[in-house]
Amino acid sequence: MDSETDMVRQIRALDSDMQTLVYENYNKFISATDTIRKMKNDFRKMEDEMDRLATNMAVITDFSARISATLQDRHERITKLAGVHALLRKLQFLFELPSRLTKCVELGAYGQAMRYQGRAQAVLQQYQHLPSFRAIQDDCQVITARLAQQLRQRFREGGSGAPEQAECVELLLALGEPAEELCEEFLAHARGRLEEELTSLEAELGPSPPAPDVLEFTDHGGSGFVGGLCQVAAAYQELFAAQGPAGAERLAAFARELGSRYFALVETATISYILTLTDEQFLVQDQFPVTPVSTLCAEARETARRLLTHYVKVQGLVISQMLRKSVETRDWLSTLEPRNVRAVMKRVVEDTTAIDVQVGLLYEEGVRKAQSSDSSKRTFSVYSSSRQQGRYAPSYTPSAPMDTNLLSNIQKLFSERIDVFSPVEFNKVSVLTGIIKISLKTLLECVRLRTFGRFGLQQVQVDCHFLQLYLWRFVADEELVHLLLDEVVASAALRCPDPVPMEPSVVEVICERG
Amino acid sequence: MEDDAPVIYGLEFQIHIIDFDDENNIINKNVLLHQAGEIWHISASPADRGVLATCYNRTSDSKVLTCAAVWRMPKELESGSHESPDDSSSTAQTLELLCHLDNTAHSNMACVVWEPMGDGKKIISLADNHILLWDLQESSSQAVLASSASLGGKGQLKFTSGRWSPHHNCTQVATANDTTLRGWDTRSMSQIYCIENAHGQLVRDLDFNPNKQYYLASCGDDCKVKFWDTRNVTEPVKTLEEHSHWVWNVRYNHSHDQLVLTGSSDSRVILSNMVSISSEPFGHLVDDDDISDQEDHRSEEKSKEPLQDNVIATYEEHEDSVYAVDWSSADPWLFASLSYDGRLVINRVPRALKYHILL
């Protein structure tokens, strides 16, 4: 009985579920039927359209076949005619070429003339054997020669400004004139123009007071001379690019010569300005003997040199003190195995980079000796090959130091003696070289005064390798840095009772990590 | 000392005695072993030529200690024997230890100076910031500390070098610490004068003018050599800036104080003629009586202007830093210089100048 009631109940539940399903989804069922009906209609319509499309295509193919058939023979004739027309046009151009060229030459439209000439050249070359063409070509050549002559004359007069000159030169080059001569003439003309500017500037500075306002003078100089020089240089480079290094050298020499004269004038102007200023400020009487401007210029230069040398010394001193303290205060006998480069070395490199940037703002780069491509990798080749392994023999028999000393002495004979305070020139590389030389020499002397344990020596090795990796790019001659640092490590080795150098590969790893 | 001039210099744990025979330009070498440690300073007794004092490094359980001791050389090597070179390569001999300058109380001895005109009984050593005056008793076999003085002040003051003045009855000593020069009276061990900031950087060496009482010269890491009058220490009398790196040594010639020798780590030795501050600024004035009849009577008058100071010569024979220079005590025109690579160079004053000074 119970199971029966249960089943009845279940049946009733199922029924009611079914009904709810139907009620809920009633709408969906209806829309589904609608969609299906619409799809049926659409497909029927599409079928009709497709049939019509097929019939139309058939008709079109039919027509097209008929048209091509009718026009077939005409087609060939038309192409032939079109070709002949084009040819005739070209021939007309060629026949008209001499007269057109003449007109261009008269009008002075040389560029256009050259363009026409260029276009026709190839064809004329090819059909030289035909008399009519030959005649045309001869005519053209005559006219071109005349054109060239006119161009040359115009160029030689040089009265026109730089852009026209440049154009002349360009055309002349295209005409196949020898580039060398053109170079020379071009530079000569440019020089003439620029010298005029210079003389006018000089005249302004002349002995008659009042000296010109310095701002005006520089303005005049800047726009006139410097602008002209830049224009000339740009044009030259464009035109004579194909000349290669010889041409570039010539331009450089030219620019340098004129530039130095200009700068001398600027110097004199500045000094004169200062003089007039002092005169105004201090009410100087005319009776006192006045120092001529040239001696003041020389003095100013001398002072600049001394100032620069002093700067180098002071900066060198700053870095030297850092290095000295670092060597003097560390306990080198009981130091542990080196794991990384000492912080002071990184500081030294940072400071040197900062100085480099600072000086680079004021001075140009300067000349550096050409480096080999793997210069920074040339780490221990000098160190291990030039010093024999016998150097690290623990026994201090009287002969052993002699041998290694002899070797290092011979090496020193063949390398130039390093002059620590040699005169500094006005370029960045020279200044940096001076500073680095002072610092490394200090390091060397300080190292020679201490005694090192084995790990102390290795720490020095690591530090020197690190410095070598980073300092070589600041100096004029990277051999210098190698030499000094080699000497530092060698001196440390001599000061060590138990010298066991670190493996070069390990040193490199430590430095790279740092 | 006789004609040949033995020179002593310390090389690690050895002392080399070089005999220079200047008549024949021959050099002989004898080697003495100094096993106590690495020598950093050496000075010879002015009274007994076989006695010398050294400051040396002793390494003990990874600490380096600088001590000082007095030694005696073997008898045969004292007087510069003329052995042929073959004999000297035989067994090196050892020094006989006379006494230690005991420094348990103090740390590191920087240098030792003997009393110049004395009987070799008084010695001064500089240790860290102390000056110690020792009495050598019982033929130098015992050193007794007579008196001492210390430098007060902030920081770790350390003496770097010192010199005993030959004037004032040998009662004055000058020392250098960092950039300051100080003068001390050895009787009371008190400071007499003090020259602050004598050099921009560390002062390396100093020397007294043998003929002029109050004059001394100092040199330092600022590449300059400065001459001082100790009565007026505000400003140097003269400054020389001929070197391009640290100047390690400055030495007056023992008889002619216008000749000043300097050695520097730019590998150069420079001989300068400091006439204007020497004891004969107007040159050698000769009385007419002294001119012999054979010579021409020079009627030219020497001008009364002081002569000009100049650099006589620059010696560039060294390839590495020059750490010591000194004049010979036998021949006043001979001097020697020593560089890092172990090269000892003996030179003479140019003959023209020698005759100019003498005549």
Q: Which two tokens stand for residue A373?
A: 């491509």
Q: How far is B69 from chain A (nearest CA, A)?
A: 20
Interface contact B266-A421, CB threshold 8 A = yes
Give me the pLDDT at residue B295, please: 41
DSSP state at residue A421: T
Give me the pLDDT at residue A388, please: 35
CB B192, CB B131: distance < 8 Å: no
Q: How far is A484 from chain B (nearest CA, A)?
A: 12
Give me the pLDDT at residue A55, please: 95
Distance of CA A122 to the CA centre of its chain: 40
Interface A–B counts its CB contacts (< 8 A) at: 47
AA identity, residue A405: N
**Alpha helices for A472-503 (secondary structure H):** 478-494
A295–B contact, CB cutoff 8 A: no
Distance of CA B288 to the CA centre of its chain: 37
Interface contact B59-A412, CB threshold 8 A = no
Give me the pLDDT at residue B298, please: 41
Q: How far is B234 from chain A (nearest CA, A)?
A: 24
Interface contact A497-B59, CB threshold 8 A = yes
Residues of chain A contacting residue B201, judged by C-beta atoms under 8 Å apart: 317
The neighbouring-strand residues paired with B163 are B174
Interface contact B265-A412, CB threshold 8 A = no
Is the dihedral angle over the CA atoms A379, A381, A382, A386 positive or is it negative? positive
State percent of chain A over pLDDT 70: 78
Return the residue of B nearest to A445 by Cα.
B265
Q: Which two tokens stand for residue A92?
A: 């007309």
Report the alpha-carbon angle A131-A132-A135, nearest 5: 85
On average, the pLDDT of chain A sits at 77
Domains and CATH numbers, chain B: 9-77+90-152 (2.130.10.10), 157-279+304-358 (2.130.10.10)
Nearest residue, CB atoms, B319 vs list A413, A420, A421:
A413
Give me the pLDDT at residue A17, please: 93
Phi (first) and psi of residue A61, to 5 degrees: -55, -45
Look at the block and give the residue holding tokens 């391009």: B244
pLDDT at B167 over 50: yes
Give me the pLDDT at residue B296, please: 40
At residue B302 the predicted structure's pLDDT band, cuts being 50, 70 and 90, is very low
Query: CB under 8 Å to A405, separation ≥6 — which residues?
Result: B341, B342
How many whole angstroms separate alpha carbon A22 and alpha carbon A16?
10
How many whole angstroms separate alpha carbon A11 and alpha carbon A7?
6
Residue range B33-48: average pLDDT? 80
Residue range B150-157: average pLDDT? 74
Return the residue of B nearest to A418 by Cα.
B266
Interface test with A, best of B249, B320, B323, B343 (most A CBs within 10 A): B320
B62–A contact, CB cutoff 8 A: yes
At residue A38 the predicted structure's pLDDT band, cuts being 50, 70 and 90, is very high
A441–B contact, CB cutoff 8 A: yes
Identify the CA nearest to A425 among candidates A365, A361, A355: A365
Q: Which two tokens stand for residue A253?
A: 């020499």
CB contact residues (below 8 A), chain B span 320-359, against chain A: 320-321, 340-342
Give me the pLDDT at residue A2, please: 92
The more confident residue out of A408 and A364 is: A364
| pTM to 2 decimal places | 0.66
Q: How far is A405 from chain B (nearest CA, A)?
A: 7
How many whole angstroms separate alpha carbon A457 and alpha carbon A337?
10
Interface contact A417-B267, CB threshold 8 A = yes
Interface contact A445-B265, CB threshold 8 A = yes
Nearest residue, CB atoms, A333 vs list B12, B63, B342:
B63
Q: Which two tokens stand for residue A284?
A: 């100087």
Return the residue of A nearest to B248 by Cα.
A445
Bridge-based pairing state of the strands B334-339 and B322-327 = antiparallel
Nearest residue, CB atoms, A448 vs list B223, B266, B340:
B340
Interface test with B, best of A445, A450, A498 (most B CBs within 10 A): A445
Q: Which two tokens stand for residue B268?
A: 């150069």
B245–A contact, CB cutoff 8 A: yes
The more confident residue out of A209 and A12 is: A12
Interface test with A, best of B90, B241, B265, B316 (most A CBs within 10 A): B265
pLDDT at A7 over 90: yes
How many whole angstroms separate alpha carbon A497 and alpha carbon B328?
34
Phi (first) and psi of residue A295, to 5 degrees: -65, -35
Interface contact A408-B341, CB threshold 8 A = yes
At residue A206 the predicted structure's pLDDT band, cuts being 50, 70 and 90, is low
Interface contact B265-A441, CB threshold 8 A = yes
Nearest residue, CB atoms, B64 vs list A419, A441, A451:
A451
B214–A contact, CB cutoff 8 A: no
AA identity, residue B338: L
The neighbouring-strand residues paired with B113 are B124
B317–A contact, CB cutoff 8 A: no
Give me the pLDDT at residue A49, please: 95
At residue A414 the predicted structure's pLDDT band, cuts being 50, 70 and 90, is low
At residue A244 the predicted structure's pLDDT band, cuts being 50, 70 and 90, is low
Interface contact A413-B246, CB threshold 8 A = no
A410–B contact, CB cutoff 8 A: no
Tell me if residue A487 falls in helix, strand or coil. Answer: helix
CB B307, CB B275: distance < 8 Å: yes
Q: How far is A335 from chain B (nearest CA, A)?
A: 10
Residue range A33-42: average pLDDT? 94
How many whole angstroms separate alpha carbon A229 and alpha carbon A236?
10
Nearest residue, CB atoms, B341 vs list A317, A409, A417:
A409
Residues of chain B contacting residue A453, judged by C-beta atoms under 8 Å apart: 62
Residues of chain A contacting residue B246, judged by C-beta atoms under 8 Å apart: 445
At residue A116 the predicted structure's pLDDT band, cuts being 50, 70 and 90, is confident
**Residue B150 backbone zone (phi > 0: left; psi -120 to 50: alpha; other: beta):** beta
Give me the pLDDT at residue A411, please: 61
Phi (first) and psi of residue A7, to 5 degrees: -60, -45
Return the residue of A nearest to B221 by Cα.
A442
Q: How far is A412 from chain B (nearest CA, A)?
A: 7
The more confident residue out of A3 and B200 is: A3
Lowest pLDDT segment from A107-116, A133-142, A392-401, A467-476:
A392-401
Give me the pLDDT at residue A381, please: 35
**Residue A145 backbone zone (phi > 0: left; psi -120 to 50: alpha; other: beta):** alpha
Interface contact A412-B342, CB threshold 8 A = no
pLDDT at A243 over 50: yes
At residue A65 the predicted structure's pLDDT band, cuts being 50, 70 and 90, is very high
Lowest pLDDT segment from A74-88, B129-143, B276-290, B292-306:
B292-306
CB A218, CB A266: distance < 8 Å: yes
How many whole angstroms separate alpha carbon B34 and alpha carbon B56?
9
Interface contact A420-B340, CB threshold 8 A = no
A415–B contact, CB cutoff 8 A: no
At residue B293 the predicted structure's pLDDT band, cuts being 50, 70 and 90, is very low
Residue range A132-142: average pLDDT? 79
Residue range A211-231: average pLDDT? 71
Interface contact A396-B267, CB threshold 8 A = no
Interface contact B245-A396, CB threshold 8 A = no
Give me the pLDDT at residue A284, please: 56
Residues of chain A contacting residue B321, judged by C-beta atoms under 8 Å apart: 445, 448
The neighbouring-strand residues paired with B114 are B123
Residues of chain A contacting residue B38, judged by C-beta atoms under 8 Å apart: 451
How many whole angstroms separate alpha carbon B30 and alpha carbon B110?
26
- Per-residue pLDDT tens over the stretch A83-92: 999 989 888 8
The total number of residues shown for chain A amounts to 514
How many whole angstroms separate alpha carbon B250 and alpha carbon A385?
39
Query: CB under 8 Å to B77, separation ≥6 — which residues?
Result: B17, B30, B32, B93
